[in-house]
Amino acid sequence: MQKLRVEELLEKYDRGQRDFKQVDLSQAELFEAQLSGIDLSNSTLQNAYLPYANLENANLEGIQGQAAQLSNANLQQANLSRANLQTANLSRAKLRHAQLQGTNLAKANLQGANLSEADLRNADLRNADLRNANLTQAKLQRAQLQGANCFRAQNADLSQAQVDGTTLNVEGYWEDFP
């Protein structure tokens, strides 16, 4: 995997290149970066700093993004399938129509995130913070929500998700779901 400097990435992107598969951008500083449509599949973004970044329609499939800072990022219609975003900060991120099947979001901060119509089937959301997240029409079949905080999550249908007595429901109660 090739280590890529932020300046080089931005320069190539500005010249029209979108294919950056399997690059190492760990700890990259990309605050407010405009990278819509970029392909960073199978890349490393561990501890990367991307608040307010525009990654709309990006291919981020299989990325290693543990502890990445993606608060307020635009990830609408992005493909994050099978990504590892454990402990990532995605608070207030726009994830509408995002593909998150099989994604590891354990202990991730998703407070206030817009996950409406996102595909979270088979995602690992154990101990994730989903307070005030918009889950309208989100696909949560077989998503693991044990220990997750779903207090005041909007329109959350957890009926097909894996929950237990450690899952905090939308009303703020620790209880089993039917």
CATH (domain of 172): 2.160.20.80
Whole-model pTM: value is: 0.93
Opening angle at CA 33, ends 27 and 34, nearest 5: 145
Question: Which tens digit of pLDDT belongs to each residue from 29-62?
Answer: 999 999 999 999 999 999 999 999 999 999 999 9
From residue 178, how far is each of 99, 160, 169 by CA, in Å?
26, 9, 12
- Structural domains of the chain, count: 1
Question: What residues have CB less than 8 Å from 162, skipping those under 6 apart?
Answer: 142, 143, 144, 145, 146
pLDDT band at 175 (very low <50, low <70, confident <90, very high): low
Query: The tokens of 1 are what?
Result: 């995997």
Mean pLDDT value of segment 48-77? 98
Q: Which pLDDT score is estimated for 174?
A: 62
Of 80, 77, 96, the C-alpha closest to 88 is 80
Question: Which tens digit of pLDDT belongs to each residue from 89-108?
Answer: 999 999 999 999 999 999 99
Q: Give the C-alpha separation, 30 to 71, whole Å.
A: 12
| Residue 171, pLDDT above cutoff 90 | no
Domain that holds residue 137: 1-178
Question: Collapsing DSSP states into helix, strand and coil, what is residue 121?
Answer: coil
